[in-house]
């Protein structure tokens, strides 16, 4: 949050002013003008922004809708505003569009309602939203004439749990000498941190309200109820058995649409919320269908879901904080009909759960090859489910691990027609590999299944075996290549809860972290994580992102890191683990400011 978006070396103010004048006249610009500033001027001209207007956008209206961001930020900013002092300075709050939601201070502030580049050209709020980091814009870098003597710094405000940018806190002053670091940057940083802390506090209160609504809707044990707010998910055991992944996604879209409508002042049950849920026939919702959607009437989820739902908004402090859905199964005949039209792709396939195209393609080929009593080679990274798939393709095969050296005794059963599974062919000794090659020369139709994990370059004997089986081989995709299957895998990997204990569920933010993790150990690594959480977790409710291991919680680096950055990132993640994810204690232990810790963590993602 503290990394400033500004050129490392700025030209002098006089040079910038002269360059802007030449740009407005359509003349050649001198060298040394930052490319990003020139690009911003060009965008403003492309959008048709007039540089000489005095009031180019409608001012903030007192009747503007009260958003969750404004509700949380107003008391914080009112406490901080006196720190501006008596000088020419202003403090503003914008949303993600960016529109000014709240402002105080001198007339030097850009008092426009809409600060998007399409309306007013280059400014720090729009730049901070685009770059997702602190941004400064000084004097002649602005496009508008009335901001030529203004310096501004903007800091993004993020949702504390999802990281989504909600808006900015902006401090404006009279023009800083020679475009140096903005003196209001520390105040803007502090204000943004305080607003995020208030948002976190309010979100926890909203979660309690959502949980209370969920418990009230449960009524008696055995009722199928789901409560969602876009981050958290409470699913009763009956709902978990009744609701398909597609149905749960449809309910989540409806809950998120409700929240979005509430933030923008739309009435509950608006078209956006109803559009998030699919009509039974797959068509666009009609106006009457939209009106009925959230009035407590029963609605049908996507075909094949097997249930209907009533989605009821959960209000809190004048805003919608989530929704509760009560589910009921549809008539069995309707379910049978839907299943009959779903086609083979929707039916259960052998091996670990998954409906992604890469997984269905690999399993479909394996099933087709297994219909013929001939050798089958299953290739894949460690933990992709090779052995699990092989055991379901053959009826109770004998299993041998190549590393244990029991191959000779197991091969005797092949001549009797009994299937044999050989795991980890990459660990076969040269004598065992030669034995297999000889067997396949004399019995090419032996009921043999072999799993192989690529790694080091195979020797000549093993390469001959792989070449022999290449025509009857299937490669299973890695979990990172089918992240959409993680939601379906989790219930199958979760241990059965103790009597009286709720099943393990996941917040939407935790689910996103799982789907973004590269999973070098694939399904096996995911299974270990789920089992560890189920056995050692001491809290209740859905698993939150903060409970996940550091590498999963923080997510993969989105750019290649240098060796120094990799070591630094590893040290920070280890410190976070030792201090339970508390960033203040982590920063103190590392001897750095908390703002520096935030900057470094976000820097790895840029």
Q: What is the model's pLDDT at position 477? A: 92
Q: Which helix (H) or strand (E) holds 388?
A: helix 386-393
Q: What is the chain's alpha carbon radius of gyration, rounded to the nearest angstrom?
A: 30
Specify whether 254 is located in the same domain as 362: no
pLDDT-wise least confident of 55-64, 320-329, 444-453: 55-64
- What band does 251 get if pLDDT is binned at 50, 70 and 90? confident
**Model confidence pLDDT, tens digit, residues 339-394:** 333 333 333 444 567 778 888 888 888 988 888 878 999 999 999 999 888 888 88
Specify whether 67 is located in the same domain as 195: yes
Q: What proportions of the chain, in percent to the nearest 5, are helix, strand and coil? A: 50, 15, 35
Q: What is the model's pLDDT at position 344? A: 35
Specify whether 445 is located in the same domain as 569: no
Specify whether 75 is located in the same domain as 166: yes
pLDDT greater than 90 at residue 293: no
Where a domain ends, among 462, 477, 492?
477
Q: What percent of the chain has pLDDT over 70?
A: 78
Q: What is the model's pLDDT at position 444? A: 87
Specify whether 330 is located in the same domain as 379: no
Residue 211 lies in a domain: no
DSSP string, 258-326: HHHHHHTTPPTT-HHHHHTS--TTSSPPPHHHHHHHTTT--EE-STTS-EEEEEEEEEETTEEEEEEEE
Specify whether 71 is located in the same domain as 191: yes
Distance between CA 254 and CA 309 in Å, rounded? 11
Q: Which residues contact 171 (CB under 8 A, 6 or more apart)?
A: 84, 89, 90, 91, 92, 152, 153, 154, 182, 184, 185, 187, 188, 191
Residue 18 lies in a domain: yes
Q: What percent of the chain has pLDDT over 90?
A: 26
Tally of structural domains, the chain = 4
- What band does 60 get if pLDDT is binned at 50, 70 and 90? very low
Token pair for 444 = 């090419």
Single pTM value for the model: 0.45
**Model confidence pLDDT, tens digit, residues 541-569:** 888 888 888 788 877 665 666 777 777 87
| Residue 73 lies in domain | 4-201
Q: Mutual orientation of helices 68-80 and 245-263 as an angle, nearest 10°?
A: 50
Q: Which helix (H) or strand (E) holds 365?
A: helix 357-370
pLDDT greater than 70 at residue 517: yes
Mean pLDDT computed over every residue of the chain = 78
Where a domain ends, among 317, 341, 365?
341
Question: Which residue in 459, 393, 391 sits closest to 425, CA to CA?
Answer: 459
Q: Return the C-alpha torsion angle 290, 294, 299, 303, nearest 10.
A: 70
Question: Which residue in 248, 313, 305 sits closest to 282, CA to CA?
Answer: 305
Q: Is-contact 191 80, C-beta < 8 A?
A: yes
Q: What is the model's pLDDT at position 142? A: 94
CATH number at residue 583: 1.10.10.60
Specify whether 10 is located in the same domain as 158: yes
pLDDT-wise least confident of 341-355, 451-465, 475-489: 341-355
Specify whether 189 is located in the same domain as 70: yes
* Highest-pLDDT range among 62-71, 97-106, 597-606: 97-106
Which of the two residues, 174 and 262, has the higher pLDDT score?
Answer: 174
pLDDT greater than 80 at residue 27: yes
Question: Which residue in 381, 302, 357, 387 sits closest to 485, CA to CA?
Answer: 357
Q: How far is CA 152 from CA 18, 149, 548, in A?
A: 20, 10, 38
Average pLDDT of the segment spanning 59-63: 46
Q: What is the model's pLDDT at position 358? A: 86
- What band does 282 get if pLDDT is binned at 50, 70 and 90? very low
Q: What is the model's pLDDT at position 278? A: 37
Distance between CA 483 and CA 250 in Å, rounded? 18
Q: Is-contact 191 155, C-beta < 8 A?
A: yes
pLDDT greater than 70 at residue 475: yes
Q: Mutual orientation of helices 563-578 and 583-590 as an angle, nearest 10°?
A: 120
Residue 540 lies in a domain: no
Q: Is-contact 180 186, C-beta < 8 A?
A: no
* Highest-pLDDT range among 336-340, 376-380, 575-579, 601-605: 376-380
* Highest-pLDDT range among 103-107, 216-220, 350-354, 592-596: 592-596
pLDDT greater than 50 at residue 289: no
Q: What is the model's pLDDT at position 108? A: 43
Distance between CA 229 and CA 207 in Å, rounded? 8
- Ranges of beta strands (E only) in 65-164 are 89-95, 100-105, 134-138, 150-158
Where a domain ends, among 477, 512, 544?
477
pLDDT-wise least confident of 183-192, 252-261, 270-279, 373-382: 270-279
Residue 101, phi-psi category: left (phi > 0), alpha (psi -120 to 50), beta (remainder): alpha
User: In 486-562, which residue ranges form alpha helices assigned H by DSSP?
Assistant: 486-493, 508-516, 522-536, 550-554
Residue 157 lies in a domain: yes
**Model confidence pLDDT, tens digit, residues 177-222:** 665 678 888 899 999 999 998 888 887 788 888 888 888 888 755 6
């Amino acid at each position: 949050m503290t990394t400033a978006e500004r050129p490392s070396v700025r030209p002098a103010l006089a040079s910038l002013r002269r360059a802007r004048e030449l740009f407005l006249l359509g003349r050649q610009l001198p060298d040394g003008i930052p490319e990003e500033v020139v690009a911003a001027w060009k965008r403003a001209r492309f959008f048709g922004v007039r540089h000489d207007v005095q009031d180019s956008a409608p001012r903030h209206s007192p009747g503007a809708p009260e958003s969750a961001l404004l509700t949380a930020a107003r008391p914080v900013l009112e406490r901080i505003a006196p720190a501006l002092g008596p000088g020419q300075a202003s403090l503003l709050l914008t949303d993600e569009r960016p529109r000014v939601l709240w402002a105080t201070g001198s007339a030097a502030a850009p008092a426009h309602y809409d600060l998007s580049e399409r309306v007013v050209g280059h400014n720090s709020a729009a730049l901070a939203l685009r770059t997702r980091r602190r941004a400064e814009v000084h004097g002649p870098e602005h496009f508008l004439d009335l901001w030529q003597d203004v310096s501004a710094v903007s800091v993004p405000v993020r949702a504390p749990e999802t990281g989504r940018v909600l808006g900015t806190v902006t401090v404006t002053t009279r023009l800083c000498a020679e475009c140096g670091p903005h003196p209001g940057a520390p105040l803007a940083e502090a204000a943004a941190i305080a607003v995020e802390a208030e948002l976190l506090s309010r979100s926890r209160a909203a979660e309690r309200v959502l949980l209370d609504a969920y418990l009230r809707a449960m009524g008696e044990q055995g009722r199928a109820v789901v409560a969602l707010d876009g981050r958290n998910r409470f699913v009763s055991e009956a709902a978990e058995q009744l609701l398909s992944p597609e149905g749960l996604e449809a309910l989540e879209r409806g809950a998120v649409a409700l929240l979005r409508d509430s933030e923008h002042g739309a009435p509950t049950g608006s078209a956006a919320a109803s559009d998030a849920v699919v009509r039974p026939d797959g068509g666009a919702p009609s106006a009457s269908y939209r009106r009925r959607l959230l009035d407590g009437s029963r609605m049908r989820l996507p075909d094949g879901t097997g249930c209907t739902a009533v989605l009821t908004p959960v209000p809190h402090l004048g805003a919608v904080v989530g929704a509760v859905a009560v589910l009921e199964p549809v008539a069995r005949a309707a379910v049978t009909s839907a299943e009959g039209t779903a086609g083979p792709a929707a039916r259960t396939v052998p091996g670990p759960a998954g409906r992604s195209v890469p997984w269905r393609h690999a399993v479909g080929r394996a099933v087709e090859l297994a219909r013929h009593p001939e050798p089958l080679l299953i290739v894949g990274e460690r933990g992709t489910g090779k052995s699990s798939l092989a055991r379901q393709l053959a009826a109770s095969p004998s299993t041998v691990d190549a590393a244990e050296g029991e191959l000779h005794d197991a091969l005797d059963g092949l001549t009797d027609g009994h299937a044999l599974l050989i795991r980890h062919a990459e660990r076969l000794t040269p004598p065992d590999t030669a034995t297999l090659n000889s067997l396949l020369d004399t019995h090419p139709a032996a009921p043999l299944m072999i799993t192989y994990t690529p790694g080091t370059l195979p020797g000549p004997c093993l390469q001959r075996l792989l070449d022999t089986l290449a025509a009857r081989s299937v490669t299973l995709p890695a979990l990172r290549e089918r992240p959409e299957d993680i939601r379906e895998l989790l219930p199958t990997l979760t241990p059965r809860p103790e009597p009286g204990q709720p099943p393990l569920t996941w917040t939407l933010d935790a689910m996103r972290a799982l789907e973004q993790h590269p999973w070098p150990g694939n399904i096996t690594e995911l299974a270990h994580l789920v089992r560890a959480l189920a056995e050692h977790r001491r809290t209740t409710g859905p698993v939150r992102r903060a409970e996940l291991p550091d590498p999963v919680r923080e997510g993969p680096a989105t750019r290649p890191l240098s060796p120094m950055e990799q070591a630094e990132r590893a040290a920070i993640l280890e410190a976070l683990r030792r201090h339970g994810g508390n960033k203040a204690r982590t920063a103190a232990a590392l001897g750095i400011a908390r703002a520096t810790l935030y900057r470094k963590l976000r820097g790895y993602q840029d």
